[in-house]
Amino acid sequence: MGKRSSECSSKVEGPSEVEDPCETDGLSEVEGPEGTSEVEGPSEVKGPSEVEGPSEVKGPSEVEGLSKVKGPSEVDGPSDEVKGPSEVKGPSEVEGPSEVKGPSEVEGPSEVKGPSEVDGPSEVKGPSEVKGPSEVEGPSKVKGPSEVECPSEVKGPSEVDGPSEVKGPSEVEGPSEVKGPSEVKGPSEVEGPSEVKGPSEVEGPSEVEGSSEVEGPSEVKGPSEVEGPSEVKGPSEVEGSSEVEGPSEEKGPSEVEGPSEVKGPSEVEGPIMK
């Protein structure tokens, strides 16, 4: 990332700054716990890359091999494409469209301001914030608070271990598990089995096409439709029309303020208020 090279490796051990387009076809490594690297033009790396200090990229960047970043990273350019496994250990910020085609792992706080697409398994260990449309096509795991402010689509198993907030339409096509408080402000659709362990709130229309389980207090403000078996263990409140087409079980007080329809066996163990 710090020197031009056609077929050989490059190594930089101190602060580096590049203002022109750069291309590296071999192994590139940047070292120095107190060193920084800055790239202000288009960059392309075809080979394994490793960065151990703070890094900043101001321009389009493309990485086609294994990439590893150990330190704060910031990307200001309109495009950031990674074709290969990527690992980031430190705070990261991306302000343009990003695309990752391969497994990715992030261990520090991350912020994405722009459309993002991930085609392989992803794991985030730290607070995450996404301000742009996002699409994930492989298994995803988030261990920390997460916030999404634009449309999101997940095609694969998903797991969230901390509080989550979604402000925009969301669609999940595989099994999902949420362990922590969750809030959804926008239409939501879930096509596989779902499990929620913690307080949940939904403010837009919701549709669930597989089995669902909720273990904490839940609140739904908008029409809801459930097409598979459902189980609710905690107080629930529904303020719009609701329809359930499979067996349902509710263990806790429930309140329904709109029309409701149940097509299947149901069991309620707490008080019901309409």
Between 23 and 180, name the one with better pLDDT: 180
Q: Is 19 exposed, middle or buried (0-12, 13-18, 19+ CB in 10 A)?
A: exposed
Average pLDDT of span 145-172: 88
DSSP 237-273: EE-S-EEE-S-EEEES-EEE-S-EEE-S-EEE-S-EE
Instruction: Tell the burial category of 274 from Cβ atoms under 10 Å away from its Cβ (0-12, 13-18, 19+).
Output: exposed
Mean pLDDT of 61-72: 71
Quick one: pLDDT at residue 240?
A: 87
Give the global pTM. Answer: 0.71
212 pLDDT band, cuts 50/70/90, is very high
Q: What percent of the chain has pLDDT over 90?
A: 9
Q: Which residue has the higher pLDDT, 46 or 193?
A: 193
More confident residue, 44 or 105: 105
Amino acid at position 136, single letter: V
Domain boundaries, the chain: 1-48
pLDDT, greater one: 208 or 4? 208
